[in-house]
Structure 1
Amino acid sequence: MVSKDSATRRAGRVRRKLKSVANGRIRLSVYRSSKNIYAQLIDDTKGHTLAAASTLDKDLRGTLKTGADVAAAAAVGKLIAERGKKAGVTKVVFDRGAYIYHGRVKALADAAREGGLEF
């Protein structure tokens, strides 16, 4: 019997609910580490990543003080919205994974909304 930790189970629960309400929309997935934050636009029907952004991108690396604060998350949110619009994506479903919708995750989501993504 394989044991799953609580974060993996929680992320699975979130993704299961998203699939039921997504109606074929693209998924904006967020990964947050202790030093950086990452975002991807994923088409689950084809299994392809349409756009990605993180604090490690050359566009952001020089302008940010650190990759682990709310300002960095907001910058990544704006960048993923810009790249998503360039890829033709406007409506998405927000996948917070196992993270609480607070702090850096919320800042990324708010910046993506301001950038033009609808969710």
Structure 2
Amino acid sequence: MNDKKVSRLRRSRKARLKMNELQVTRLCVFRSSQHIYAQVISADGGKVLVSASTLDSQLRGEATGNIEAAKKVGQLVAERAKAAGVAKVAFDRSGFKYHGRVKALADAAREGGLEF
């Protein structure tokens, strides 16, 4: 693995350990160059409760690697989480900077009704 990925994974480890210690449901985000993915993971870390990504059939066919797409994914994951009965989550940015697409997804999820 390259140094950039190793550094990102090292940054994510500390936050995930803290979330695991607190036993909170987390909103986990992963971004690639072309897509962005979001999952709401149970407090024990063993089950994905809801997920959304730019690969979903509802978002397919549009631009996928930009801020607008990230906002749509944030709204979709918030909507699905509310339907599943999840209102409060911890935001797990997976070591990515809170900037650009990651920030857009988080802001849209907050507007959609998730608390974090």
Question: Same fold, TM exceeding 0.5?
Answer: yes
Of 44-53 and 81-90, deviating more is 44-53
Aligned to 1:109: 106
Q: TM-score, normalised by structure 1?
A: 0.88
Mean Cα deviation higher: 23-32 or 100-109: 23-32
Choose the corresponding residue for 1:82, options 79, 84, 90: 79
Kindly report which structure 2 residues correspond to 1:52-91, keeping only aligned pairs within 5 A, or say none: 52-62=51-61, 64=62, 66-91=63-88
Identity of aligned residues (%): 56
Any idea what SS the aligned residue of 1:9 has? helix
Structure 1 CA distance, aligned partners of 2:11 and 2:50? 25
Structure 1 unpaired stretches of 5+: none
**Deviation of the 1:19 alpha carbon:** 3.0
- Gaps of at least 5 residues in structure 2 are none
Count of aligned pairs between the two proteins: 112
Cα drift, residue 98 of structure 1: 1.3
2:111 and 2:73 map into 1 onto residues whose CA distance is 12
- 2:41 is matched with 42
Instruction: Give the alignment's Cα RMSD to 1 decimal.
Output: 1.5
Whether the 8 Å CA contact 2:67–2:100 is kept in 1: the answer is yes
What secondary structure, in the 3-state scheme, does the structure 2 residue paired with 1:60 have? coil
